[in-house]
Structure 1
Amino acid sequence: MDLPRVATSYVGRRREAAEVRAALRAGQLVTLTGLGGVGKTRLAEAVTAQAARGFAGGAVFIDLTELRDGALLADLVATRSGLHNRSGQPALRLVLNHLRERAALLVLDNCEHVVDEAAAFVSAVLDECPRVAILGTSRQSLGVRGERVLQVQPLAVPPDDADPPLTELARYDAVRLLVERASAILPGFALTPDNRAAVVRICRQLDGLPLAIELAAARLRSLSPWQLADRLSRRLPLLTSSPRTAPERQRTLRATIDWSFSLCSPTEQAVWRRASVFAGTFDLPAAEEVCAGPGLAPDQVLDAVDGLLDKSVLLREGQGEIVRYRMLETIRERGHELLDAAGERPAVSGRHRDWIDRLTAAADTAWAGPEQLRWIVRLRLEQANLRAALEWSLTEPGEAGAVLRIASRLDEYWTFFGHSLECRQWLDRALAATPADHPDRPRALAFCALHSAWVLDLDGAADRLAEADRLAAGAPGELQRALLTYVRALVAQLRTDVSAADLAAEAAAAFRAHGEVRRELHPLWIYGVSSGYRKGEVAEGRRALHRMLELCEARGETRYRAMAQFGLAYLEVERGDAGVAEELARASLRNLMKIGAGSGTAYLLDNLAWIADRKGEHARAATLFGAAASLWQAIGSAPEIAVSGPHRAHKASTLAALGGERFTRAFAAGRGMSGEEAARFALDPAGAGEPAAGARPGSLTGRQWQVAGLVAEGLSNRDIAAKLVISQRTADTHVQNILDRLGFRKRAQIAAWFTEQR
């Protein structure tokens, strides 16, 4: 479940939230509309937090402000849903396949700038995924058939002709918001007989607009409520005098933002303008690199950021040990306008791209080493900024060459998280926009071919390899030749061509001769698996994979280490010791879990199913086959394609040993597991059993069955959390999902059902 972390408390909107929750039904689209700053996102966040547990398939919240190109909307949804595209199919198809059988809530926030793409995406989901509910926020409706549009109004303020007593003022949400935000700035601030009239006046002047109230409340650090009300009454009429064609509340909000800007220091104004080029979130070092420039030194940026945080222009978001910042979209839009008015957009966007260039270069250099995990976290946080930098480079005249350089880096990162198709698209666009003699073109073509191979477009890979050969005129540099040979080895392996081993051995030797340890690793894997499994040279295959493992361990590398362990387990289960294979596969899975699982988890769960079959643990094997099936679907692939031979053989053996009914029951239990539950089951040597006899196939996942048993024992959710070493919130969610799946309303019904099934 991917839900936003809200930094401040939510005030009011109880009636609206209840109305939205009531409108959200399976196959239903609800769109919250209203002007910028009216509180659509906060209402959507609150509703999602309240309604998520009612959807057995979970909820996913996607902030579309990260996108500059609407064509990547489905890719962003896939990423937020934990999907890793390892096929050539469009991301939309991957998402639809994932959601088709799920009762899930999908929240699309800030659709207005990609409204056409959002409408097409939503229509496809509603057509093919009948159990999915969609909540959107946009300044305009999506125009999709069956859409229910709910207009989000400003917060309630006391009417002009009313003078409610002090005790009743808190009933008005605008007043509550102002008082709460003021008390966060000034502990002890409260609504009193002395300031009540000023507070009401402020709320009325700002038309109850939440963003305007938050910006104004930040000024109560230095002004009294009466001073603030007086300044607003003098300032806002001047600012709202133009343009007269805009709706009155929109002019009020714009005027409040401009007033807030006018009260910033020159350095704060510069950082406000320049920070608007960031997509998603950013940290202080990034701000120092991008926002510093004419009239602003890097060491001045921190003070400016502090000032903008105080004024609610920037919002603080904690991400582990590093604090990150973001702008609300309405404030970012005004920053863009101010940046253009100052004539700074090209220079600042260029610095943003150059920052991404340096960041990806540093990550690429350190990739195959002990800092890999840190870089993975960092790159995932900067994915939106990476996309923004690539898009700017492709649309700014003369800058497309930077995309050849940037997108050719970190091929393992793009691949591991299922972005190979996207990376190939960036490279193809850059190749089309740069001259044929650009020096980075041959290398970019090689990596474009590599990503084509990873999404199983083997003909496309061959075409790009051929173009790279033509550019080299038959005499490429040795490392470029090794790179092309490596890609050919991968293509050959995917075609099940026996030439894969020889090509991989040639590439590995060339990289080794030049000290390119990172580039040697994957060719070693191709050679080890191809020679050991396909050619029957098991000892030779083991030697190659052990060398790969030793190189990874010496460098503190994690991703390729997991691959080497999987490769050895792959050989051992078929040609060696099943116990050794199991130890290797579990070690590989543990390493993958460190870096965020990824597409390799499907291979490992399937591999562990083969091992369980070979050991005679057939119920466990069937459960693992079921768990793997969900993950194969999540990466857009199938074991019949990726690991055809051993998968078919061991699945048939497991089915024969169990019989159809027992196999189906165990397979369904595995398929119903979440990725986290499947990994725990696979890593638990004692988890070899099958669901209790009589349990309805697919009714509960393995973990839910366990929780149901603890409910039957009389344990509270807190006791269940302590026993299973999970959070109480997770235990609450498990119990609620069990109630939903079984159609019950009370815990006693779970206990009775479990006792009967057992």
Structure 2
Amino acid sequence: MKPVSPQLPRRPIVHPPSEFSFGPFRLSVERRRLLEDGQPVRIGSRALDLLTLLVERAGRVVGKEELMAKVWPGSVVEETSLRFHITTLRRLLGEGADGPRYIANISGRGYCFVAETRADEGGNVDDIAGGADVRGGGSGVVEAKEKTKAMSTSSAPPTPHNLPARLTRVVGREDEFRRLQALVPAERLVTLTGPGGMGKSAVALAFAGRVLGDFPNGVWFADLSSVLGPGQIAGAVSHALALRPTAQPDRPFLLVLDNCEHVITDVTALVATLMRDLAGLHVLVTSRQALQLGGEVLVRLAPLAVPGPAEVQTAADALRHPAIQLFVERAAASEARFEFEDTHAPVVADICRRVDGMPFSIELVAAQVDALGVHGLLDRLDDGFPLLTQARRGVPERHRTLKNLLDWSFDTLAAPERALLKHASTFGDSFDQNALFKLLPCHPREGVLRSLSNLVSRSMVDVDVDAGPAGARYRLLETTRLYAATKPHSD
């Protein structure tokens, strides 16, 4: 009798995503079909191959040599052919002066797909394709179609949600995503907090899209930025939850409450009631201050990491830092011909340092690259570039300028807090409590500390409690300092 070899367990086959959604588009890899708002897009095979390669590695640079080798296998092609097809692809996707941007050119390296994408490992491919297999027949293709159908029919139904579509990806927040992934399914209430302009709304939306599978009764979003008073808050939340399945009400569901700081007291009361009455409810809040409810867990968004002056020599060095990545992506979005070169690296690093690594400010200044260039933009910052009032289009009024964003926070402050913020703007660097006392000798120390604590809790002042034996040190972000310096003294 022949010896029988032990049967090792077969490793499960992991299928790559077969469909991707971005903006109004849906790309079916299996069926080689691109849809825009449900309608087929006429696209050549080379452009489709390029799009597929870039989308499958969204957020990462794909080298020009690799693109040419995979799209034109076994052929010798000029780089001009690649550029021509990239230009064609951009035109098909609707890139233009006022449109969204999908593909960034990274000088000397290649191209990067920069829009927010959502991958689908299953999906109704035949419904999306709506026709015959464009690649031809063959048993392999038929088998793949049958496997795809089996995956679709055996998988759980999609999670219901009302999340708005996003056109840009979130950069440099993977650590925060991992922490939220650990906390939100396990805790009842998580608040994402931080100064205005740090991208709390964008992070919350992107995260909510990632955890749809964790909440079988849905993920529901309510933007509270324009509501006033408990009645309007309750109405917005009721509207968001209207489509929630009710057959099994205790199954987990997630409610995302965005922009809560201006109605924080009323939101706190409503969340407390909802958490008491709805057993399956998990809440993710974005706010510049905490709700201060029992069981609340805080996740604070800090500025994006910015390299020091000596850390950047080349474009490759710079692109390891999230603030630089965001600047390059948004600069490419405003100017399709923008190429990030080694000579740009230290200049862009300097620009990002001057705006504190704040995503909102980085996006504002990067959008000016098409008009000023990288070096011209730095010169304008030296000359007092009107960063506070530089406007962008297609966004809510409070996000149109940095001044509007800071007004949103400033208007919620009490008079003593406004006065203290104005005084603190005279410090060019960090400061401690004793420095404040010396600056304000006629003010009761208890009142100064109370106002300082309130400014910290509202994300208007940063604090480093582990600064050293001398005690905590405080600082204003440069953008906040510039803003506060424009305010008149109120005492």
Structure-2-length-normalised TM-score = 0.47
Task: Indicate the structure whose relative CO is greater, using CA pairs within 8 Å and at least 6 residues apart.
Answer: 2
Structure-1-length-normalised TM-score = 0.31
Q: If each structure's helix is expressed as a fraction of its own residues, which one has the higher value?
A: 1
